Amino acid sequence: MNDSNAPKGDRNWKLILGLFALGNLAIGVWMLVDPIHWYHNLPANVPATGPPNEHFIRDVGCVFAIMGFALGIATVRPAYRMATMIGVTAWYVAHGLVHVLDTARGLLPPEQWLVDLPGVYGPALLVIGVTIALRRSQHGP
């Protein structure tokens, strides 16, 4: 579908989903290519979770890379957008809930609440908002 035949606002959704795709792909590739560098350099106090496990970091890197790939497809294929965003949102919310649970029960230090705000809770809230906005743009309020 070219832009002249695209639904109203499609260019905005391409931009939003494209940025999400690039962000997820970048994190995933970083985790896959250099998991120890990711572990020590992500500004999220990852070392507070325990010693690095390269295999596990790469496993999670696969999730980010797959989400980035799926978001890339959804960028150009509107029919896949809602399902893709539901899946991505489910992962980000579940990830956030794990952080809430682990911080609340003391597995992570108390300062982790603030550390996780921009990198865990913020993205979860952002994808929830984008998913709701996408739903409304496709089906109305």
Which residue, among 96, 78, 89, has the nearest Cα to 132 in the 3D structure?
89
17 pLDDT exceeds 80? yes
Q: Contact, 97 vs 116, CB < 8 A?
A: no
SS3 44: coil
* For residues 116-121, average pLDDT: 96
Which letter does DSSP use for residue 65 in this model? Answer: H
pTM reported for the whole predicted model: 0.89
> Average model confidence (pLDDT) for the chain?
93
- Provide the residue type at 102 as one letter: D
Residue 1 confidence (pLDDT): 44
Q: Contact, 130 vs 75, CB < 8 A?
A: no
Share of the chain above pLDDT 70, in %: 94
The domain locations on the chain are 10-38+51-139
